[in-house]
Structures are given as structure tokens and as C-alpha cells.
Structure 1
Amino acid sequence: MSKASTIQVEKVNEHIVSWLKTYANNAKVNGFVVGISGGVDSAVTSTLCAQTGLQTLCVEMPIHQSQNQVNRGKEHIEQLMKRFPNVSCAEANLTPVYDNFKAEMPVSDSEAKYNLSLANTRARLRMTTLYYFAGIHGLLVAGTGNKVEDFGVGFYTKYGDGGVDLSPIADLMKSDVYALGKFLEIPQSIQSAAPTDGLFGDNRTDEDQLGASYDELEWAMLEDEKGSIVNDFSDRKKEVFEIYKRLNFVNQHKMQPIPVCEIPKSYK
């Protein structure tokens, strides 16, 4: 079910960098701020931003973070700062903030809902932090979501990592992001690491949470775009397609505009 990327990496790279630079100049801002997680999406996004020549601030925001994730993030930032003089870094240790928040909140009767709410809280604390840095430095918050996450299965937190000013890689499949990451020579430790959102304070991967790999979900997304239905498949393909369709349905509230109750003109 895996699909090798077919993008022209050099042309895609140039296109995104030009798009970023034009958008920032039109918005009359100084550059970009990117949250660095130690994963491929944030590494690629920050490298694209760095290539604009505009100020690029890489922010680490650990919350009881796995040391492996922290180390990968630091390795990437150090490499990027050596390559681009316009790149700077900051660290905001959000662990005490998160712990204080958690201590003030009631515990849910549902452990699953409780843990998910806390995971989303981590993402929202990070969003708030990025916008603080953006505000004091005159920057735009660059999103790090790819196409499968943002428009396929909705694998992000509403008003968390989904709260951004612009999305440079949201039209790229995960395989495309990896291809671009290889072209951009991001650290090998990041290229080979299993994708994880790191929001639960354990070692669970994205695949553990989703029930399918990104290769499988990418396949399912392309099949769905072609108009395929569940009964077109059997065995694992059928299972994956059902996972994709279920996640795509339940997460539409993230992908669609906020519903507005329109008042009839006769009532005004």
C-alpha cells in the first residue's frame, strides 16, 4: 500500500520558499516562528522557512517530553543555525504550566477522555506559546501539518497544532515530506524516527493511535479521492480504508469552517 513520492523536490522546495517569502512580505512581518518537535514535519517546515532569508525562530516547548524527542529537536536546531544565519532558537519549558493547569482541573470519570483532553491541552499550551513569541517578534506561526493529517484523518488538535497563520506543507503527503526532508538534508535521526505527536508522555507512535501507518492512510486517501468504497477492498486494505473513512468523518469538525448561525434578514 506504500506509495513512493513522485514530487520534483527541487521545484517544490523553491515554490514553497517563494510562497512563504511573498506571503510574509505582503503581511509586512519579520518572518516565522516554528514549534520544533523532533519530527520530520517540523524539521522540514523550519528548513523551508529558513531558506526565505527572513527571521526564523525555532521554539522547543517540552512538556514531560521524551528525551529522544528533545535530543532530535536540538540536533535539528543546531544544524539549522549553522546553515542559516537568520535562524534563532528559544526554549519554553511548559511542564510547570501544564502541571499547574492539570492540578486545577477536575478528573473525568472516563480515563480515555481525561487523557485525551490533557493531550489536547499540551497542544493548546504550545499554540499559545508560539503566538506569544510571534507577537513580541512580529512573526507568523508556520504550521507543520501535512495533507494526510490536515485534510485526510484530521490528526491534530483544534486550536492546538491546528492553530496557525499559514501551512507550508499542507498540500504534501507524508511521503512527499520525507522526500523533501531527504533533499533538505535534515538529520538522519529525524528521517528514521517513528512519527509521534508526543502528547501523551509515553512512547506511543502516530500509527499506534491511528491504527494504520501513514503509507496506508495515504493510499486510502488517494483511493477515497478516486471514489472508491469499502466493498472494493478486502482484508487489510478494507480495514485501512474503513479506518480512514471513520477518522475523516468524525474529524470533519476540524476541517470545515466554524458553523455560523445565520439570522434571517426579516429578524434584523
Structure 2
Amino acid sequence: MTQVSTQEGTEVAAPEAVQQRCEWITEQVHRLGRRGAVVQLSGGIDSTVVLHLCARALGTQNVVALYLPDTSTGPDTLAFVEAAASNAGVRLVERSIGASIEAQQPIEQINELIRKYEPGYDPATHAYSVNAANNVAKRLGALVYEVAIGPRHGSPEKTLRMSVEDLRALIAYQNRKQRTRMLFAYAEAEALGYAVVGASNGDELDTGFVVKYGDDAADICAIGDLTKPAVYAFARELGVPQQIIERTPTTDTYALAQSQEDYYYALPADVLRQLVGDGESVPSDEAVQAALEHAPGWKAAALRQAATGLAASLRYQRNRSLRP
């Protein structure tokens, strides 16, 4: 599939590349026997680009933008969502998933877990996030995570040193959100006879920045081969609203300010992709040395160890119901 070119340091998507991708989306949706698309819309660049591609490929009347807020959703997210849906010319459907997540596991259990480390934690005024611990990762040669807390919808102010067991419990709780979103997306799509078109990009899918059976689960991954810069190139060619192009990418997972780099990328995405390769083989000495040039503070042994751990994680995430 046609990609993008680079002009003066900026990725540029040719009109033919957009048209070719739209034709592919149309072909795949119809091959599945579906007549339209449901796109989960977060107000971010990835889902907005996918929504515009689907609207152009299938017709605006055959595309639904699905907005799935919960109790942690940022106060400004809806404005971005509405701008994206309006610009694409598609119908916007909102379904709150907060009650569904609460029914699966009460948030008070998570609040109590955090209070083990910060007794004064009050969810009415405080929030938490799980972030990549970059300095620890460099030292240990592993993609390590830590929990930060701060004012609700504000910036992190303190890092908690949690046990591995409690950190896993917290991450497992948060992963419910992505899986619940997909549950709602498929319910909406099946009622309409539509396909679920996912918004995970190539950087995310190739480096494991997804939740298994969550945001990696879709009938079609419309931008699943594109790097993040290429997604922005498509956004500019598609006429995506400028305020969305300029918005800082976020996971929209926690009620605490957090960028995607805070959450996952202890190393640049292109470096991670280079190191992990197909996820099946050990990175070569040449790949490690090349990555070192773009990984300040890392040592070769630590990079190799991190790549081995990431490859194991990718194998788990990509596995689907093994058969004998």
C-alpha cells in the first residue's frame, strides 16, 4: 500500500495514497459482508484520521463515530470528539462505559490499593496514572512502570513505589477500559450490520502499545501499518481539524495528565520497532548498535535485554486462541 514521502522534514501523504487506502477499506468492509463502519472516537489524531478515511471510503451515511467516556475522561475531550465527527460529517453516538467498568470491579478496590502507599489519596480530588519509568528502564534493561499521583486532571506530583503484585492488579484494572470499549463497539456495530474499524497505528501494534482483545481487536486496522508521523501526514491531506492535529497525543485512560510517551515509550517507537523486529528472533549486534545512536543513556546489554522482554510481550499479545 502506498505510503508517504518526506519533504523538508515533514511527512507528506499524496492524494493517491489516501485514495488507495480508502479503496482498501471499502473492499475489506464489503468482503466481510458489512455495509458500514463503527469507529471509536477519542478526539485524538489516530481515531480522527480513521473516521475521515471511513467517511470518504464508505459514505458519511454509513459511518458512526462512537464516543465512550468514563469517569476518568478529560473535561475537554468531548469538544475534540465533536469537532472530529462534525468535520467528517458523520453521526456521533455517545455511550458511557463508567457503570459497566464499575460493575466488573468497584473503583474503591483500586482506591484502597493506592492508599496502601499514599493514605491521604482521595479520588474526589486526586488521580493516578501508570507511567514508563525511563531512568529505571535504562538501569535494569527492562520496560519498567511506576504509579504517579496528582490533582485530578492535573499533572503528576508524586511517584509511588508499589509492589509488583499491586502494580499488576492496577494495570489489569485499567485494561478493563480498552476491553469494555471494544465490547460496546461490537454491540453497536452488530446492531447496524457494520464493521468495527480500529484506530491503532503501526507504531502501537508493532511495539505492543495495545491491550490484548482491547484496542488491538477490530475487524479492520485502517492505519495499522502507519508510523505516527505518517498518520499526521494523512491527517493534513484529509483536512482533519487543526486543533486535533496540534493536540498532544494521550492515552485518555487516566484522570491524570499523561502523554503517550509517559505511558509507554521509554524508547522512541522507531527504535523499539528496530530492536524487536518480528518479535521472534534475538536482535542482531548491528540492530543494537544502530539503536544505541538514538537511545541516550542506554547500554548495549540493557537494550538487548529490553528487546528480549518486549518480544516476549508481543508474542503474548499477538497470540489468538492456539489450536493443536
Give me the TM-score of the superposition, normalised by structure 1.
0.83
Say whether the 8 Å CA contact 1:115–1:200 is kept in structure 2: no
Q: Does residue 137 of structure 2 align to residue 130 of structure 1?
A: no
Partner of 2:258: 204
Deviations 1:143-197 (A, max 9, x none): 111111112x111111111111011111111110011011112122211122111
Deviation at 1:98, TM superposition (A): 1.8
Q: 1:191 aligns with which of 245, 261, 265?
A: 245
Q: 1:236 aligns with which of 287, 295, 302?
A: 295
Aligned counterparts of 1:224 and 1:59: Cα–Cα separation in 2: 33
Q: SS at the partner of 1:251?
A: helix
Say whether the 8 Å CA contact 1:220–1:244 is kept in structure 2: no
Q: Does residue 63 of structure 2 align to residue 56 of structure 1?
A: yes
Equivalences for residues 229-268 of structure 1 within 5 A? 229-232=287-290, 233=292, 236-237=295-296, 239=298, 242=303, 245=307, 246-260=309-323, 262=324
Q: Does residue 263 of structure 2 align to residue 218 of structure 1?
A: no
1:143–1:185 distance in 2 versus 1, CA, 3 Å: same
Q: 1:96 aligns with which of 94, 99, 107?
A: 99
Q: 2:23 aligns with which of 18, 24, 38?
A: 18
Percent identity of paired positions between Structure 1 and Structure 2: 21
Whichever structure has more strand as a proportion of its residues is: 2
Say whether the 8 Å CA contact 1:5–1:176 is kept in structure 2: no
Say whether the 8 Å CA contact 2:63–2:91 is kept in structure 1: yes
Aligned counterparts of 1:210 and 1:155: Cα–Cα separation in 2: 7
Deviation at 1:235, TM superposition (A): 7.4
Q: 1:37 aligns with which of 30, 35, 42?
A: 42
Aligned counterparts of 1:179 and 1:63: Cα–Cα separation in 2: 30
Q: SS at the partner of 1:158?
A: coil
User: What one-letter code is carried by the residue in structure 1 that aligns with 2:105?
Assistant: K
Aligned counterparts of 2:183 and 2:299: Cα–Cα separation in 1: 34
Give unmatched runs, 5+ long, in structure 2: 1-5, 114-162, 278-282
1:244–1:172 distance in 2 versus 1, CA, 3 Å: farther
Q: SS at the partner of 2:64?
A: strand
Please give the root-mean-square deviation of Cα atoms over the aligned residues, in Å.
2.8
Whichever structure has more helix as a proportion of its residues is: 1
Q: 1:141 aligns with which of 196, 201, 204?
A: 196
Partner of 1:72: 80
User: What one-letter code is carried by the residue in structure 1 that aligns with 2:197?
Assistant: A
1:148–1:5 distance in 2 versus 1, CA, 3 Å: farther
1:254–1:183 distance in 2 versus 1, CA, 3 Å: same
Aligned counterparts of 1:27 and 1:123: Cα–Cα separation in 2: 24
| Number of residue-to-residue matches in the alignment | 251
Aligned counterparts of 1:174 and 1:104: Cα–Cα separation in 2: 33
Say whether the 8 Å CA contact 2:179–2:215 is kept in structure 1: yes
Give unmatched runs, 5+ long, in structure 1: 82-86, 263-268
Say whether the 8 Å CA contact 1:72–1:190 is kept in structure 2: yes
Deviation at 1:240, TM superposition (A): 10
1:73–1:240 distance in 2 versus 1, CA, 3 Å: farther
Q: SS at the partner of 2:179?
A: helix
Deviation at 1:62, TM superposition (A): 0.1
Deviation at 1:254, TM superposition (A): 1.3
